[in-house]
Chain A
Amino acid sequence: MTVQNPNSFRNGPDETGHFGLFGGRFVAETLMPLILSLEKAYDVAKNDPGFQEEMRSYLAHYVGRPSPLYYAERLTEHLGGAKIYLKRDELNHTGAHKINNVMGQILLAMRMGKTRIIAETGAGQHGVATATVCARFGLKCIVYMGAVDVERQKPNVFRMKMLGAEVVPVVSGAKTLKDAMNEALRDWVSNVEDTFYCIGTAAGPHPYPAMVRDFQCVIGREAREQMLEREGRLPNSIIACIGGGSNAIGLFHPFLDDKDVAIYGVEAAGHGLSSGAHAASLTGGRPGVLHGNRTYLLMDDDGQIAEAHSISAGLDYPGIGPEHSWLHDIGRVQYISATDTEALEAFQLLSKLEGIIPALEPAHAIAKVCEIAPKLPKDHLMIVNMCGRGDKDIFTVAEHLGGMD
């Protein structure tokens, strides 16, 4: 494969939905007409000032945007290097970045006349965001969630039910996020007339990776403006955790053409990359085809998809969005990884130093900040995407730490 560096890193995907080798539309014929009509509807909406204004209004008054860019003074002092800013997307309504994308997709679904919304969820954050926005607009909502995740994310299951959603525990396969996605696709194949599939990450068949990214780019656009306002210049580096990679691509994309901005994506290394029990698709996987797109995947030599592992249910996925695979291959973004243990330490550190309890997902990014920041000069500006709050994870963390008293 030859990889050419483009003039801009922000022009993807091409019209067939490819980011270089990655992306595409690997779906059953039943879904193909639906995906084509979604692509058409999104193209119209994207260029419609009315749709954009509607989005802006709901993001401001319902979601609570813009989210602050917060100077983490004590974390910065503690690490003694780079000046660290947190992009506070955990302060959004529902406590994570997921709602940025859900709001966009649901407004689009309504424009398309769809009345039944389905979604997959891992940690439950995307499920909660979808259930929330469906409640707001009076839409029927069905959330597929692996039976294992239903068990380990009980508070979110309860929240979804309170919001009127039907939560369907998925018992097929490994009973986690990838199986929830399979089941949502099966639902969509079976209910083609009235149903809109609200995918939670920047993956899946074209146009989802591009559409989800566009909706999440509000994170990076705001952060860029806020940093210019605060410091009068761009950050030197930005960093975010990656499961499917929607919060990361949302932060990264507006900075991709700023060649002096170093970009880091942090995958979940679980028990360690050499243990085999991890969710680091880029570091430990290879290109394959799953869930409608070609991307890096964890699998065996027969092409059977492997089970991912991470302490964070939101990162516990054996694939990654196709644009990340491309950014990895062309080298624009550096992908690194943090283990469960490192994330747990970062979780506690940020809670104690800043009074901010991060979700276990961004705790992976914080863990790498702890490693990178001390080696950098004090005038190095760094933005970390705080993509979710940790309330949902306190029981998991307590279990690992053996109680908190």
Chain B
Amino acid sequence: MTIRIENRFAKVRAEHRAALVTFVMGGDPDPETSFEIIKALPAAGADLIEIGMPFTDPMADGPAIQAAGLRALAAGQTLIKTLALVTRFRQGDAETPIILMGYFNPIYIYGVDRFIADALKAGVDGLIVVDLPPEEDAELCKPALDAGLSFIRLATPTTDEARLPKVLTNTSGFVYYVSVTGITGSAISDHSGVASSVARIKSHTALPVVVGFGVKNAETAETVARGADGVVVGSALVEAVRLSLVDGKATAKTVPAVTGLVGELIEGIRRVHKV
């Protein structure tokens, strides 16, 4: 197993805070700007980076991430280019964990074994593949784990006590708790249940539990940080990209729009002292 994820959570714990996990779409709005954004994330405050692998039919994503994927595809993004993006990032950063997130079909077509080998070579630490539940572990999860990649699973409010052990078996790195039943970017009115849900998952696993969905500013990040080991932000960041574009093209404001929001988010997280 690559050790970057474990090391990073240890470092964050030593700082008595929650981790900030940032999601951006690989290749959005164009390959070069996407690289500039990802390169700038750690200094802006991101502890872990999730890079979306764009797919034409993202059935669990809301409008913001759908649009980000389509922008990336329109700009010519492919799985090969997303892996190249990671390789390039690794040349300047050997520490920050990189997790690729997406849907199975592009990986299946790339070839599972070839993908795992190339991802490791590029410096990828973990995978989140939305449409591969534990029932399909033989497809990618097991070979990825065997090769040393973390396979990070989503747990949801519909994952009950009986099912949780099944979801947590073969999960590594961390657990991603999706705090609402809904697509990415769904608004969440009440984060108060987060702590108890996280506690429920933690009674089954020693892995860190990060929480996502509905985090969009310092306040919501702060609230979620109280109950979780990490805070995931995705839709708000890709929306920041979108709002910075002029005629669909990146502007001088694009990278700062993302890093500025990341700065706010980490500030919210730092307000919560974890013991």
Interface residues of A (CB under 8 A from B): 16, 24-34, 172-173, 178-179, 181-182, 185-186, 189-192, 288-292, 297, 299, 301-305
Contact between A26 and B62 (Cβ–Cβ < 8 Å)? no
- If A33-B159, A33-B163, A299-B109 touch, whether A28 touches B59 (CB-CB below 8 Å) is yes
B181 within 8 Å of A by Cβ?
A: yes
A-B residue pairs in contact (CB < 8 Å), sample of 11: A31-B158, A32-B134, A33-B159, A172-B63, A173-B56, A173-B70, A288-B105, A289-B131, A290-B105, A304-B73, A305-B57
B5 within 8 Å of A by Cβ?
A: no
| Closest residue of A by beta carbon distance from B178 | A30
From A185, A297, A301, B59 is in contact (CB under 8 Å) with A185
- If A29-B159, A303-B105 touch, whether A190 touches B131 (CB-CB below 8 Å) is no
From B55, B57, B60, B163, A189 is in contact (CB under 8 Å) with B60
B165 within 8 Å of A by Cβ?
A: no
What's the dominant secondary structure at chain B's contact region? loop
Residues in A with CB closer than 8 Å to B73 are: 304
**Which of B61, B178, B181 gathers the greatest number of chain A CB atoms within 10 Å?**
B181
A32 to B136, CA, bound (A): 11
Contact between A29 and B59 (Cβ–Cβ < 8 Å)? no
A303 to B104, CA, bound (A): 9
Contact between A25 and B135 (Cβ–Cβ < 8 Å)? yes
Count, A-B residue pairs, CB within 8 A = 116
Contact between B182 and A304 (Cβ–Cβ < 8 Å)? no
Q: Measured between C-beta atoms, what is the minimum distance from B2 to chain A in Å?
A: 24
| Closest residue of A by beta carbon distance from B76 | A302
A304 to B53, CA, bound (A): 11
Contact between B105 and A29 (Cβ–Cβ < 8 Å)? no
Known: A29-B159, A172-B66, A302-B78. 6 other contacts (CB 8 A): A28-B131, A28-B156, A29-B178, A32-B158, A302-B106, A303-B106
Contact between B59 and A291 (Cβ–Cβ < 8 Å)? yes
A70 to B263, CA, bound (A): 72
From A24, A30, A302, B60 is in contact (CB under 8 Å) with A30
B226 within 8 Å of A by Cβ?
A: no
Residues in A with CB closer than 8 Å to B109 are: 288, 299, 301-303
A288 to B79, CA, bound (A): 15
| Closest residue of B by beta carbon distance from A25 | B135
What is the 8 Å Cβ interface bit string for chain B, positions 39-78, against chain A (1 contact, 0 not)? 0000000000000000111111111001000100100001
B155 within 8 Å of A by Cβ?
A: yes
Residues in A with CB closer than 8 Å to B103 are: 289
A185 to B158, CA, bound (A): 15
Residues in A with CB closer than 8 Å to B80 are: 302
Give residues of chain B (218-241) contacting chain A, Cβ–Cβ below 8 Å: none
A29 to B80, CA, bound (A): 27
Contact between A26 and B79 (Cβ–Cβ < 8 Å)? no
| Closest residue of A by beta carbon distance from B167 | A29
A345 to B10, CA, bound (A): 70
Contact between B108 and A186 (Cβ–Cβ < 8 Å)? no
A389 to B212, CA, bound (A): 48
**Which of B60, B66, B153 gathers the greatest number of chain A CB atoms within 10 Å?**
B60
From A26, A186, A192, A304, B104 is in contact (CB under 8 Å) with A26
Interface residue count for B (Cβ, 8 Å)? Answer: 45
Which 7 A-B pairs give the minimum distances between C-beta atoms?
A303-B109, A303-B106, A190-B182, A28-B60, A30-B156, A302-B78, A185-B59
Contact between A26 and B159 (Cβ–Cβ < 8 Å)? no
- If A182-B59, A186-B60 touch, whether A303 touches B132 (CB-CB below 8 Å) is no
Interface residues of B (CB under 8 A from A): 55-63, 66, 70, 73, 78-80, 103-110, 130-136, 153-160, 163, 167, 178, 181-183, 186
Residues in B with CB closer than 8 Å to A178 are: 57
Q: Measured between C-beta atoms, what is the minimum distance from A207 to chain B in Å?
A: 12
From B55, B62, B157, A186 is in contact (CB under 8 Å) with B62
From B56, B107, B159, A304 is in contact (CB under 8 Å) with B56
Q: Measured between C-beta atoms, what is the minimum distance from A332 to chain B in Å?
A: 25
A172 to B167, CA, bound (A): 31
A301 to B79, CA, bound (A): 10
A182 to B65, CA, bound (A): 14
Contact between B154 and A305 (Cβ–Cβ < 8 Å)? no
Contact between B79 and A192 (Cβ–Cβ < 8 Å)? no
Residues in B with CB closer than 8 Å to A303 are: 55, 79, 105-110
- If A26-B136, A28-B154, A304-B73 touch, whether A190 touches B181 (CB-CB below 8 Å) is yes
Contact between A32 and B133 (Cβ–Cβ < 8 Å)? yes
Residues in A with CB closer than 8 Å to B61 are: 186
A33 to B57, CA, bound (A): 22
Residues in B with CB closer than 8 Å to A192 are: 158, 181
Residues in B with CB closer than 8 Å to A16 are: 135
A186 to B132, CA, bound (A): 16
Residues in A with CB closer than 8 Å to B79 are: 302-303
- If A28-B59, A30-B60, A33-B160 touch, whether A299 touches B133 (CB-CB below 8 Å) is no
Contact between A30 and B181 (Cβ–Cβ < 8 Å)? yes
Residues in B with CB closer than 8 Å to A28 are: 59-60, 130-131, 133, 154, 156
